[in-house]
Chain A
Amino acid sequence: MRALKTSANLVVTLLLGVSSVAQAQTAEVLHWWTSGGESAALDKVRAAYAAKGGTWKDTPVAGGSNARAAVVNRMIGGKPPTAFMFSIGKQLDELAEQGLVGDVNDAATAGKWDAVLPPLIAKASKYDGKYIAAPVNIHGENWMFYNAAALKKAKVEVPKTWPELITAAKTLKAAGITPIALGGEPWQERILFNSVLLGVGGRDHYSKVYGQLDEAAMKSDTMLEVFKTVAALREFVDEGSPGRKWNIAANMVMKGSAAFYFMGDWAKGELVAAGIEPGTTVGCALAPAKDKGYIMTVDAFAFAKVKDKASLDAQKLMANVIMDPAVQIAFNKRKGSIPVRTDVTDPSFDVCAKLAQETLKDPKTQLASSGLFGLPSAVSGAIDDAISNYWNNRSMTPEQGRALFIKTIAGAK
């Protein structure tokens, strides 16, 4: 069945490729993947695009927010890039509302995207029922990396629940190992918080809070429990945490000076760069949780509104290349994420990626990150503020933290 789909895809793309020979399909692609690993991953897409007859004009802009600002400025200026990296969700919807974004619905229908994409991602990629973005990958945010040697030294098991983690952390601290490596920037603190939110509250609670901004859920006792657990974690983070960059925190777990690290799976890139196979000296598991859930963030390419046929064809070709199973495998192996297509697996993926794919088979586990995917960035930014303020003020009680959380979200809506 999969072979059939793949070959059907191949035929479609080949046909497109053949028709494109007549006119060079030049796509200017604006993106922010400038680091070594990211660039190597994107190379795979670039090569595939060229192999199908397109010309890729690369416009890298370092930094996600800079790149997004560049896209918006160029759109307003009337010279948008053909395709651009963007986060799917409310932010892209706003561009679409202003009529600045084109759709690739033809390619999506032909490629049966609806059938192969996780429903939540398919929904977020559409505006007004049409696909306006081609998702490339799924990153998971609720990962727990751990140094196996450190756990062994302190004789603790990999915890399955947050109370177990707190017990383990006490033992580790007594053994002179920093229990939790944490980079003290708001977005990193949010990742830890969200893992606790999912772990203590469960996925229904999580989706009520972030999916619907449900005030009853935020006011519940469960939420108070979440804030209590987060408060209990404060003492397991070392003093140097505030302002620390995430890759330095990752390094602490690699060296074994810290035991646990809660971070998205892009941290695997750091492991691989340091010559560590994920799942060996540094193990990976989903963060302790009541029920299985996977907090997804999605990288996607969106398409500017263009009129000329050459650009439209270039966009279509681009959409097909991005969703090509072979491209998805090659790309994601380098990016540390997993393919956005649920029908694509590869035996050479690392154990963490396999665990992610296994988890996502159950649609109930698919949760949206509170970052750019899902919530308006004003709200997600305000949430980061509230979490970070709570985390860093040890004098703030869980009740006050919960109240601040509710108040901040209300102010940003």
Chain B
Amino acid sequence: MMNAQQPPSAVTLPRAEAPPAGRRRWWSASTAAKIALVPAAVITAVCFYAFVGWTVVISMTRSRLLPVYNFVGLDQYRRLFANERWWTAMENLAIHGTLFIVGCTLLGYVLALLLDRATRGESFFRTVFMLPLSMSFIVTGTIWQWLLNPTLGIQDAVRDLGWTEFVFNWIVRPDRAIYTLAIAGVWQQVGLCMALFLAGLRGIDPNIWKATRVDGIPTWRVYTDIITPMLRPVFFSVFVLLSAMVLKSFDLVVALTGGGPGFSSDLPARFVVDHILNRQELGLGAAGAFMMLCTIAAVISPYLYVELRSPRKEA
């Protein structure tokens, strides 16, 4: 808090009495930082909060093709909640979200641990696991669409090998199609999680390992009781990254199943885009978008609250 430019005698003075305070304060480092933040703050206010506000306003109108401001109260929300397709989409979001986040995190961590122990071939395996990440969700979706198609992909190949009764037709089954989304999603993103965990593991102080060896603790106990808790910030980053991906999963579902069969693998993002752009249901789409925001807030904010507060407490 001490200002280096002040004469030593001024140090004992209370801050308010510091002579020509105005000008000096104006140029202080924190003011400069504040000024530097103004553009970002304005952009956030306009591009995020203003548009969220606008979406909420639109969701209370009967807008169809064009935004019109004839307010109908919560009518669009009533229509939305009566819409079977919307609930299917929400349910799918929960299924896909859980499987995708848990799958990516667990598998990514296991892969990272294995790589961490491996003595050779690490860079080879790292490249292999990271490769799917270089593809867009559209490409991933298309590849998996072929692989999962019962008449051309895995099922057909296995049948050709002789197992003529083999069945793997999840993508064409309304009750299973949503799981194919998680398979393709995990396949693509697991490399990213692995890389993050590996970086975390490499960041662990080697002295900890030495100490555990001195104490004679078995390796698995070191991982479960010491290393994993230390990687808590990495788990947090992975969780935030993956949940953002789940909520905006739009391209994957479009390329993989197109929301089908029927609308059995639809997701809220696709529902909203479809209704705003193709169906001229601007109001209903806006209501859906706002419900998505509420869902995210409900799921993420308690977690954010706990995670962002705890380091400060410790300090």
Contacts and interface: CB of A to CB of B under 8 A. Distances in A.
Contacts of A392: 174, 260-262, 264
B274 to A, nearest CB: 8
Given A65-B278, A91-B280, A184-B261, A72 B65 contact: yes
Interface string A82-105: 000000000100110010000000
Contacts of B277: 65-66, 69
Contacts of A381: 274-275, 278-279, 281
A65 B149 CA distance: 27
B260 A388 contact: yes
A380 to B, nearest CB: 8
Interface residues of B, number: 34
Interface string B151-178: 1100000000000000001011010010
Given A381-B278, A411-B79, A238 B151 contact: yes
B166 to A, nearest CB: 13
A393 interface: yes
Nearest to B174: A392
Contact of B260 (A65, A66, A72, A243): A243
Contacts of B79: 411
Contacts of A378: 64, 275, 279-281, 284
A325 interface: no
B66 A98 contact: yes
Nearest to B177: A242
Contacts of B145: 243
Interface in B244-300: 257-258, 260-264, 274-275, 277-281, 284
Give the secondary structure class of B's interface. loop
B83 interface: yes
Contact of A377 (B82, B84, B278): B278
A391 interface: yes
Contacts of B132: none
Interface in A350-378: 376-378
A243 B257 CA distance: 6
A336 interface: no
Given A385-B85, A388-B262, A94 B65 contact: yes
Interface in B81-107: 82-85
A239 B150 contact: yes
A222 interface: no
A404 B263 CA distance: 14
A94 B66 contact: yes
A243 to B, nearest CB: 5
A6 interface: no
B280 A94 contact: yes
A95 B172 contact: no
A378 B262 CA distance: 17
Contacts of B264: 389, 392
Contacts of A239: 150-151, 169, 172
Given A185-B258, A391-B262, 8 more contacts: A94-B280, A243-B171, A377-B280, A381-B274, A388-B260, A389-B264, A392-B262, A411-B83
23 contacts: A69-B277, A94-B66, A98-B66, A185-B260, A239-B151, A239-B172, A240-B149, A240-B150, A242-B171, A242-B177, A242-B261, A243-B145, A243-B171, A243-B261, A376-B64, A377-B280, A378-B64, A378-B279, A381-B278, A385-B85, A385-B263, A388-B263, A389-B84
Shortest Cβ-Cβ A-B pairs, 4 listed:
A240-B151, A392-B261, A392-B262, A381-B279
